[in-house]
Amino acid sequence: MTNALVIGAGPAGLMAAEVMAGAGLDVTVADAMPSVGRKFLMAGKSGLNLTKAESMDRFLQAYGMVPRALHDALSNFGPDAVMAWAEALGQPLFTGSTGRVFPKSMKASPLLRAWLRRLGDRGVTLQTRWRWQGWDGNSVIFDTAEGVVRRDPAVTVLALGGASWARLGSDGSWTQFLPDDVAPFAPANMGFVVPWSSHMERFFGTPLKSVSLRAGDLENRGEAVISARGLEGGGIYAVSHAMREGAELTIDLRPDWSVDRVRTALAKPRGKASLSNHLRKVLKLDPVQIAILSEFGRPFPGDLAPLIKALPVKHAGPRPMDEAISTAGGVRLNALTDALMLRDRPGVFCAGEMLDWEAPTGGYLINGCLATGRAAGMAAVDYAAKSISAQSTR
């Protein structure tokens, strides 16, 4: 039986293992941590968002311009396929009002347990506390509790994650073994540091709702959470790529109103009411919206309407990369063939967040990891079969 090795036991690595084991390969999955799927389990703490139920065209657009290899992987394992896969593992799903798809349990642990049972039934061997140390010639080297272990697989899939949440295993240390193939890491889907004034302290932990956030060409009608550290949450994550690249963040506090409508409302007689009460009464702004307008808008101009429609937010840059949900950077896609194989190391394939791609939250990140893991696993099966065929004809 052909030996296959997967390094990294997150969703991409486990999916690659499932595909290869299903094709009859003898698969070992090695992970540096004491247990598998740690970041996957963390993703389920607030509800495991597996994918986004939408048309394939809209689904692919969320990833932006991507190379053929990633486009094909996503096309071949999109939302419908992910949902069918999870349900086959005995995990009932539901779709939220925004199209996000979750297990009914909302947790990752039941799905992961079912997945590991199925992998075990297919003969997959899991090795934990095996830290990859690169190659010695064609041999793969691991540092383990029992000492140095060498393996000589016919095919290898690397699924080593990005460089956020180091305590869960994604520390990016593997880049030292691929020095010429890696783009520098950068935080993705992250919060931003805001040096708040003292009057904002009472709003820490409070969501900023019913707003639209814009940075560059990106816009999102979502929530942002005001925290002691700054701004975070889904609305910020959705525009974080443009912010990281230097685009200004603006907040539309009345996204369904035109500037003229806001101006007309503000022109209503104010009487003895304070400005805050006037804003609450004529624009229906809540206390959090009024507070953030005061934080970034003072001194107020004579015409307040344009500011309410596009409030510029002053920030001090992204939160540290280890706090980011994911990372950009990693193995450059031009260092890989269309089959996700390293050009300078035949038989070695890459998948998951270690690739240099960036997906927004909302199910796209996990779906992308599953899709690339599947694509790498299928390509490894094909490579192994061709290698056996070539040897038999010699």
Query: What pLDDT, in 10s, does the model give residues 1-23?
Result: 689 999 999 999 999 999 999 99
Residue 143, pLDDT > 90, answer yes
Residues written for the chain: 394
Query: Is the Cβ–Cβ distance between 349 and 206 less than 8 Å?
Result: no
Confirm if 169 and 195 have CB atoms less than 8 A apart.
no
pLDDT at 119 over 80: yes
> Is a pLDDT exceeding 70 seen at residue 156?
yes
More confident residue, 329 or 44: 329
Residue 388 has pLDDT above 90, yes or no: no
Instruction: Tell me how far apart the alpha carbons of residues 365 and 51 are, in angstroms, rounded to a whole number.
Output: 8
pLDDT value, residue 146: 94
Q: What is the mean pLDDT of the segment spanning 347-354? A: 97
| C-alpha dihedral, 173 to 175 to 179 to 184, nearest 10° | -110
For residues 276-304, average pLDDT: 96
User: For residue 151, what are the β-bridge partners?
Assistant: 140
pLDDT of residue 321: 93
What is the average pLDDT across 259-264? 97
pLDDT value of position 392: 65
Q: In whole angstroms, what is the distance from residue 52 CA to residue 96 CA?
A: 9
Q: How far apart are CA 238 and CA 131, in angstroms?
A: 34
CA–CA distance, 130 with 148 (Å, rounded to integer): 9
Mean pLDDT of 171-183: 95
Residue 188 corresponds to which tokens in the numbers above? Answer: 């993705």
Q: In the chain, what are the domain boundaries?
A: 3-187+325-392, 192-312
Residue with structure tokens 């992910």?
Answer: 82
CATH number of 3-187+325-392: 3.50.50.60
Paired strand residues for 128: 31
Distance of CA 363 to the CA centre of its chain: 8
Q: What is the pLDDT of residue 118?
A: 98
**Under 8 Å between Cβ of 237 and 325:** yes
Helix, strand or coil for residue 87? helix
Alpha carbons 351 and 114: distance in angstroms, whole number = 22
Q: How far is CA 147 from CA 144, 215, 286, 361, in A?
A: 5, 50, 61, 39
Q: By three-state DSSP, how is residue 101 classified?
A: strand
pLDDT, residue 393, reads 65
Least confident of 164-168, 327-331, 378-382: 164-168
CB 59 within 8 A of CB 65: no
Average pLDDT over residues 59-88: 95
Determine the pLDDT at residue 167.
Answer: 92
Model confidence at 64, in pLDDT bands (50, 70, 90)? Answer: confident
Angle between helices 364-392 and 68-76 (to 10 degrees): 100
Question: Between residues 387 and 63, which one has the greater pLDDT?
Answer: 63
DSSP alpha helices (H): ranges in 51-179?
56-61, 68-76, 79-88, 109-121
> What are the backbone dihedrals phi and psi of residue 44, each rounded to the nearest 5 degrees, phi first?
-80, -5
CA distance 126 to 120: 9
Q: What pLDDT, on the 0 to 100 scale, is given for residue 33?
A: 96
- pTM value? 0.93
Q: Please check whether residue 317 is in contact with residue 192, taking contact to mean a CB–CB distance below 8 angstroms.
A: yes
pLDDT averaged over the chain? 95
pLDDT at 75 over 80: yes
Q: pLDDT tens digits, residue range 192-249? A: 999 999 999 999 999 999 999 999 999 999 899 999 999 999 999 999 999 999 999 9
Mean pLDDT of 241-268: 96
Residues contacting 393, CB < 8 A, separation 6+: none
pLDDT of residue 359: 86
* Percent of the chain residues topping a pLDDT of 70: 99
How far CA 217 is from CA of 246, 251, 323, in Å, comes to 12, 14, 25
